[in-house]
Every structure is written in structure tokens, then in C-alpha cells.
Structure 1
């Protein structure tokens, strides 16, 4: 892992990453229900880990997106965080944009593992990745000097795509030649195939994201910050990761704000100091400072003031309000759910932040019973430990 974290901070970072998964799963049942009084009516003072049920949404404003999900499941935010975690694990804690794009496309695209809601950044990113690849193919075919028939061109593209989607640079030539040799033994045709593969590779763009400034830009950040915490590359890597799904300057700015917040907390800084550092990167520091004012936690009022939707200029002040006023992980997650709206997306900053400060199993930390409720918990926590400890 590239992180400069001292060993005594690593348990706190493991708790932080677990806090994102727990917070997302805890919020899923009432996610995108925008009516705080209805949330209180349905969930009472303990609204966490309710089974997703469309009846909660009847007669009030909201969007029921998680039919078929069970208690303990995470939203599409958690699924996307799992994708970048897998990529970081596969690359020894380094962000490899191409690998991340491949895994994102494979997981959320046709034939992938994800079953559930597809948000706008994901949908547009998948479309963009297909368009980028098609443009790269056309560039390769239009510039090859080999004398190929139309049929040969089609077959060569079919031969090289499985390799250009998962390999890059010097890795391509040998497997591409072997694949083409099964059909064409002529050296000229094989070399044309290598040229096509390498040209496609050179024209695949890292900025594949949607022009979108919603929470998917920041929800993926907790594992990335764990890998680059204390590094001069943190903000550069944050920008690169965000642009895979959110190619939008405002989204990048808010993501840098969130990354600085998490970095400070991972390093053991007090919440107030981490919030100060993050505000310096923010797109709208005035609203963040306003959200921190007051002497009591009132997440529903913060939602009324700043907004409850997925847009970062609404979500980040609500996050700052909760982090400034909550005294425990449980209180913060419950307040986030009671606020309503995109509680799952906000949970990916609130959960890691509060767990980083308060840990697991302590009076103010993540309850052990909540940890156990996350679907596939053993696998999730094993991967978190592997990422942080590099094993």
C-alpha cells in the first residue's frame, strides 16, 4: 500500500472502511425517502437495517429503488466501492485507472455481477466506455497499412478485444499473436492484429465519466484515501478516480474536499481540524461553515436548509453538519437516515469519518451487532484488512 500511515493508525482505518459498509447497509431500507416525518413514523428512533419495502414510500415523496434487496445488503454505492477496492487490492494499493475501468465495466455492465439500481453516473460511464472503445477500434482500422479484407478486420477486432480490455502496452503482443494464429498463420495478418490491439490500447481514455456532480464521485473514496493517505499524490489520484465515473470539475473539487477530510481523520486529527482542512478544498466553503454552526444535531433541519438529494452541493453540508454535532457512530448514522434523501450516499463519508474517530465496539463506535448484519461481512472485512495491511 502506498499510504504513509503509521502502524498505530491502521486499526482506525480498518474501522473507518468497515464504517462505510455498515452505514450504507444500515441506511438501505429508507434510502431515497425524502419525508423525515414519515421516516420517523416508520423507523422510530432506531431506523437502521429496516428491510427495503415499497410501502414506506406510499403517500409521500421518495423513490423506492431497492426492490429485492435484503437486510444487510448495500446500495450501488457500496457495490462501486467494492469494485475500486478489488482494483486496489489487485494492484498492491495503487490506482490503475485502466484496471479500475475494466472492473467497473465488467461488474456493472451486461453479464456482470450487479443486480440492482443503476444510477446516472454508472449508466453514462458504461455508455462512454463502449463509445471510447469503439472510437479506438475505428482509429486502429482506419490507420492500419495492412491489406486486409473486411472479414479479416472484423475477425481481428474480435480476436484482440478480450486482450485490449484487460492488458496494456507490451503485455498485448504475444497473447494477441497466439490468438490470431488459431485462425490466420500469415505473419502480416498477425502483425496487423498486434497493431490494432496496440492502437486501441493507446486510444482508451481515462476520463470515462458522466458530466455529473452527484455522490458517486465521493462514495468510492474511503479505500482510495486509505492507500494514498499522507502521500503528495492523494489529490491527483482522487481526481483520476473520480473522472472514471464523474467527469465534472465541481465533482472533482468536492471529492478533493472529502479526501482531505478522510485523510485528516485517518491520520488521527480531531474532527474539527479535519473539517477545517477539507473546507479549504471545497467548492462552497460558506455553506460548509454554516452547516457546522449551532449547538445541537438536527439533521432533518440541515436537510431542509441545504437539501437532501444526491448532488454534492447539498450532501456535503449535511455531512459536515452531522460530523460536527454527532457524538457517536450510532447517533450519526441514525441522524443521517432521519434526514432522508440520499442517506446511503452520505453514509460513505459519515460512516468512515465517525468510525475512524470512535472505532469498533467502543461506547461511541460501531456496534458489533451492526458489523455482523452486513451481507458477506467476513469477505468484506477480510478485504479491508488485506488492503490496509498489504497482505
Structure 2
């Protein structure tokens, strides 16, 4: 009998008894049904009252007709222009079980308009009906179809073309989406045809061999905060076992780098890697370890012995902790390897919960936390955009 909520590690995904599987399946499908109902209501509301964050284009490809992608042009961009744009592909989160590309509309619109990028939100299927590696292969198929159109079709009207500068392309994702983005970067077809120059995993899932019960022990808890930030239990802890069960087939190697990028070789990832963690998040520790390994830093123990960040709240609300040499919160490592410039960054968002930049204000249950999260989201996006432009894509 397997208990995914217990601390420890696994090498392969265990087999569940019939009654365990029945229980996990009932809970997973119930959560999925509830979230999908809320999503339908939100989509109807948006259709009726179009907000300022809607995409400029929604596009599908014959290879995945049920998986539309959402495209955001920067403010003021002339669609019939021949000007190519730096491009950021995005992958939404949701524990490999729920979530929708429209979840990231606000972030994508803001990033496109503020930093002058073309932003393309990708799409993928999820568990329990579509476990690993279905979602990863969905991303692969959509990207290859997109690039085939980009490079081969001259008959596409100017207003339908995607002005991607193929020398300035990066991919990012949130949580489960960050995991899938890191996996996509390792696929030979993507390395050959898309050639991402950077990946930005934000509060990523990167090591599925860690049991969910162990993850919750590897972060600080700051119970002096009001609302969600002061919760003595982790935001993801209760649902994590069901997310894991939904996505991972029985017998799956949990250290497969496509599933657990913590085990990916450096040469299999883009030359630029910028890991962003949230301090009050059970996933923060594994993202920290990944960044340290890729950046040549001392890798913290694979246990709760050391936790990222600090025990006390940050001295200043709404601010990132950078520029003071405190490598718990930020460091950078740039080097040249066999004539190739490589760059790794680690940025820890202080006093931030998982999904801090995406969850509804009501979930924070604290107006101060809402403002704090918004300020830090805008600040980290600026840091990432500047890194891409001034480091990764600098001539």
C-alpha cells in the first residue's frame, strides 16, 4: 500500500490498490470537473464582456485541433509589418490536471505590451485522461506545426502571420507548465527546429521522485503574515498526491529527465536558464537545487536540512531582494563553454506563495499581499526581459 503523502522518495511510480485508485480517481475527476465548470463560466463572462487582456489571435493546427494557442502582439505593433519580434512561448500550470491557457492572459498581455515581445501561450492535454508524456508531445506537435507554417507557407495573409524572430526565442511556464517547458527543450525535434535560446521555469515542478509529503517540509512557514501567506500548511500539500497520481503512469521512471528536469544534463537545456522560485512554496527547494546544479553553485542537500530563503519576513514589502550579494535570493553565473555563452540565474521571490502572480485576490485574503504580489510580479518580469535582451540575445 502506497502513501504519496508520506515523506520520502521514489524511483518509480508505484502501483495503487483498486480502492486507492478509485479514491484518487474520484477526487481528481471531481476537482477537474469543478475547475472546468468555473472555467466555462469565466469564458462565458469574457465572451460577453471582453476585457483588456484578451489575445489578439487564437489559432489551432490540424495536428491538435482541440488545443488552441493564444497570441499576444505588443501594443502598437502593426500586424501587416515585416518587423520580426522577440518571442516568448508560455505554458500554463495546473498540476498536470487542471488549468487553461486563458489563465495566463493578464501576465501575457502585460509582458507583451510592457516589453515589446510577441507572447504565445501554448496548450496541452492533462491527466487523468492524458498522463505523461501526452502533454509534452502535444507541445512538441504544436511547436513543429507552428514552425512548419512559419518557414514554408508564403500564402498566409500578413495579418495571420506570426512575426517570430527565430534567433530570439525563449520559453517559460508556471509550475507544471514549467516542467513541461523544460521537458520540451530536451526533445531532439525541438532542439533542431525551434532552438530555444532560453528557458524560464517559474515556481517549477522539477523532481517527481520527491513524495509530496516531503516537499512540504522543505520550505519556511511565516505564520505572522495574515491571509494565505501565513497559512501553516502549504497551498499545494493537500492536492499534490492527486495531481501526482493523475499524471504519472504506474511503473514510470520518476527520474526521467523529460518528467523530472532536475536530472537533465546541462547540454540538453538551452544556453540560458533562469529559475524563478516563490519562497512560501513547497516546490521552491527543488527549483533551487536545479538552479544551483546548472549554475555551478553548491547544491543544497536533497532533504529538508536547508530551506531556501529566510525564516523572517523581508524587510521591505513589494520589493525583490537583489544587488546585496544575498545568494539565497539572487545570483547569476555567466560563462563561455566551447565558444558558447551560457547563462544561469536564480531569483527567489520573497514572501510569495505558489502562483502569487496568478491566483485571484480573494485567495490571498489580505489586501497587502495582493499589492505585494503584483509589485513583485511586475519586477521579476522586468528582470527576465532585461536578461533576455541584454544577455541572451545581445549581439
- Specify the TM-score bucket, using the shorter chain as the normaliser: 0.3 to 0.5
TM-score, scaled to structure 2: 0.34
Q: Which has the larger radius of gyration?
A: 1
TM-score, scaled to structure 1: 0.35
Structure 1 or 2: larger helix share?
A: 1
Higher RCO (CA-CA < 8 Å; seq separation 6+)? 1
